[in-house]
Structures are given as structure tokens and as C-alpha cells.
Amino acid sequence: MSRRDIAFFSAVLLAMGAGWGLSTPLSKIAVSTGYGPFGLIFWQLMLGIVLMGGACVLRGTPLPLGRAAIRAYVAIALIGTVFPNTLSYSAAVHLPSGIMSLLLSIIPMFGFAIALALGNDTFARRRFVGLVFGLVGVLILISPTVDLGLPVPLGWAAVYLVVALFYAFEGNYVARWGVAGLDPFQLMLGASVVGVLCIAPPMILRGQFIAPVWPLPVAQAALIGSSVLHVVVYAAYVWLVGRAGAVFAVQVSYLVTGFGLFWAWLILDERLGPGAWIAACAMFAGIYLVQPRLRPRSALAPRAAIGDS
């Protein structure tokens, strides 16, 4: 790449990190007025259908409905949205936004451990050390004796780690079993449709449907903003992997965590204590060490690298 290319791609990377990092405090705002997780997920998926459907129409790519494609839609919908987002929105009521950003940064470390278990990757000492750094960061965050500056309920922190585990498994599922030749927009459109069908019954049974009103209340505007940001940044990630390679694009992991902490401070006035910053240093070291030096130029779902709230 030329210097101009590097500068341009770096600017795109910076914008992606800022966008994805902003989604965590927006999710925190979305749950602030008592909206249930099923209603929030329903509208998040409906927005995904509209935006991803529009992208497929513009690109002239129909939605495949073969058995293999439907299997991929169901898997990604369940392990990438329905299960983790139900837990994520539930935990967001109780956890500070900055702590959630730090906990999600464990995804690359979880992903490496799962890859070893599934045979998707081979053992590397350097990456194992990165896994250890990530676990040290988690232990600092959940230790009751460490000053994090904000209250962190241990049980909900553990729940949020399960969210990270789901996202890490999602990336490994794609690497191991593939997505039936679907492009990322087809995959996300199909998964969003399946997700809506899965989440609508419990939403209705639990009385969690959210009726849109105008002008939009802050919580609904935050949900829309978070959903749109995810779709736009997801598309930018896929584009960047194709232009600059996965090794370059995966560096967004650092920026997502850093911007997540910055937005939590700027928007929610969260001020973390020294223990949280020590944990952040351990997490950043883990992200750096656990990333492979060389990766194929493939457009896997970004949560395989960093996660989505």
C-alpha cells in the first residue's frame, strides 16, 4: 500500500472503531427506561432487515433459501444475536458501559481458546501468553477487592462474559462450518429474518413489544443509532478486509475498546478507577499478543475479532 492508501485506510479504521465503540453506551441508554430485551432485539433485527435488505437489492443479490443457507441463518441468528443480545441487554441494566467494553475485549482471547478446542487453529506460545493476559484482565475486573471506580455486580459481569463467549464461538462457527457461500449481507439479512421469527413469540408472551412514538424518546433513538451504526460499520469492515486485508482490519479491536471507554466517559460521565485501567492495559496486551501474524484475506463476521453489543 502507498502512504496515501495507508492514511486513508487508517482513517476508515478510526471511524469504524469510533462507531462500534459508541454502540455500547447507546445500548446502555436503550435499556435505561425499562425496555425489555426481547422488544429491543426485535426492533434491532427489523432495522437490520430493512438496511441489509436494501443493500442486497442495490447489489442485486437475492436471498438463497436452500437447506445449507437456512442452517447458516439459524446458527448465526441464535449464537450471534438472539442468545447473546438477550443476555447483553439484561446485563446492561446493571453494568457500567466502560466495564462492558472491557469485558467484550476478551472476545479475541476466547476465540483463540475455542479455535484450539475445535481444531481451527494451532497452538502458539505468543498467543497463549495473550490469552493469559486477557484472563488476568478479567480477574481484575471481577475481583471484589479492586477499585474500579464504579460498582460492578459480579454475577452480571459473569453474564456479560457469556455474551463474549457467544460472539467468540460465532466467529469459530463460521471458520469451521462456513456460511454456505453467502456474502455477509445475505447472511445478516437471513439471520435477521430468522431472529425476528425467534424473538417475536417471547416478546409477545412477556409483553415487551415497544411501540414506536414520535418524537422519538431518547431510549428509542439510542436503539436506532446503535443498530444503524452496527450495519454501517459492519459493511465498512467487510470493505476494508477486501481492500487492506484482515490483519490490518482486525486492529479495530483496540479502537473499539478505547472508544468504548471514551464514549462512556463523554456521554455517561463514567469515571473508572485505577483498577479498571490496569485491567484495560492487560486486555490491550492480550489483544496484541493473541492476534495471528498472518491471516487469510477473508471477510468473516467482525464479531469474530471484536464482538457486537
Encode pLDDT of 49-81 as tens digits: 998 899 899 999 999 999 999 999 999 999 988
More confident: 111 or 158: 158
Mean pLDDT of the chain: 84
Residue 306 has pLDDT above 50, yes or no: no
State the alpha helices, DSSP H only, in the chain. Answer: 3-30, 37-59, 67-77, 83-92, 97-104, 107-118, 125-142, 154-177, 184-205, 218-244, 246-249, 252-268, 274-290
Res 1: pLDDT: 60
Q: What are the DSSP calls for 243-281, one per residue?
A: HH-HHHHTTHHHHHHHHHHHHHHHHH-----HHHHHHHH
Q: Find out whether 287 and 108 touch, Cβ atoms under 8 Å.
A: yes
Residue 205 has pLDDT above 90, yes or no: yes
Res 162: pLDDT: 94
Q: Find out whether 21 and 260 touch, Cβ atoms under 8 Å.
A: yes
Res 299: pLDDT: 42
Q: Quick one: pLDDT band at residue 293, thresholds 50, 70, 90? A: low
pTM of the model: 0.84
Q: Quick one: pLDDT band at residue 309, thresholds 50, 70, 90? A: very low
CA distance to 10, 140, 186, per residue, from 245 (Å): 12, 34, 21
